[in-house]
A = this chain, B = another copy of it.
Amino acid sequence: MLLLWKNICLEIIFQKEEKLKIIMFTERKTIKEVEEGNKLSPKFNSDGYIPVVTTDTKTGKLLMHAYMNDEALRCTIEKKEAYYYSRSRKCIWHKGATSGFIQKVDKILIDDDQDCVWLQVTVSGDASCHVGYRSCFYREIKYDGKNIKLVFTEKEKVFDPDDVYGDAPNPTIL
């Protein structure tokens, strides 16, 4: 009896999720509709990801660039907090779940051909980078015609990654 009840529940959840998928994402039929229509028809790449650009709502500053799969995009739209897909860990990743630096989503935009998402967020704790900086883009590329070097634009870290992440594997891949 318990098993039957569990199966019924799972079926309802499944149907609800399927319905949600249909409502949220529309099939890409024509270029005109994709570029100038009012339906959300995101294009996930051959691996199932869409790139995401995340900026700070108040300062406008670029915080990070990451990826979502369809589930992460649906979660982000529904819950108004940023969910990404971690390509190194191969799972959905609720930003801030470990560090506490949750990204509250203020606005979500999509580009002309709907293959990139722009999140405007407010960050709890003021850091978005796993290395400890406010923004992942903390180094400027300087080139004088002969030599090239990276120059730091943030002077100090907001937090110590060892304290926050402990022994968790570093997501950076060589």
Chain A residues within CB distance 8 Å of chain B: 23-24, 28-31, 34-40, 43, 51, 53, 55, 59-62, 64-65, 77-78, 107-113, 116, 118, 129-131, 133, 136-141, 143, 146-153, 170-174
Instruction: Check A172–B34 contact: CB distance below 8 A.
Output: yes
Q: Which residues of chain B have C-beta atoms less than 8 A from A28's C-beta?
A: 174
Instruction: Check B109–A139 contact: CB distance below 8 A.
Output: yes
Q: Which residues of chain B have C-beta atoms less than 8 A from A65's C-beta?
A: 51, 53, 111, 116
Instruction: Check A35–B107 contact: CB distance below 8 A.
Output: no
Q: Which residues of chain B have C-beta atoms less than 8 A from A170's C-beta?
A: 31
Instruction: Check B118–A40 contact: CB distance below 8 A.
Output: no
Given contacts A35-B131, A77-B143, contact A111 B149 (CB under 8 A): no
Instruction: Check B51–A55 contact: CB distance below 8 A.
Output: no
Given contacts A34-B174, A172-B31, contact A109 B140 (CB under 8 A): yes
Q: Which residues of chain B have C-beta atoms less than 8 A from A118's C-beta?
A: 62, 137
Q: In the complex the two chains form, what is the Cα distance from A138 to B30 in whole Å?
A: 18
Instruction: Check A108–B141 contact: CB distance below 8 A.
Output: yes
Instruction: Check B51–A148 contact: CB distance below 8 A.
Output: no
Q: In the complex the two chains form, what is the Cα distance from A112 to B170 in whole Å?
A: 11
Q: Which residues of chain B have C-beta atoms less than 8 A from A146's C-beta?
A: 23
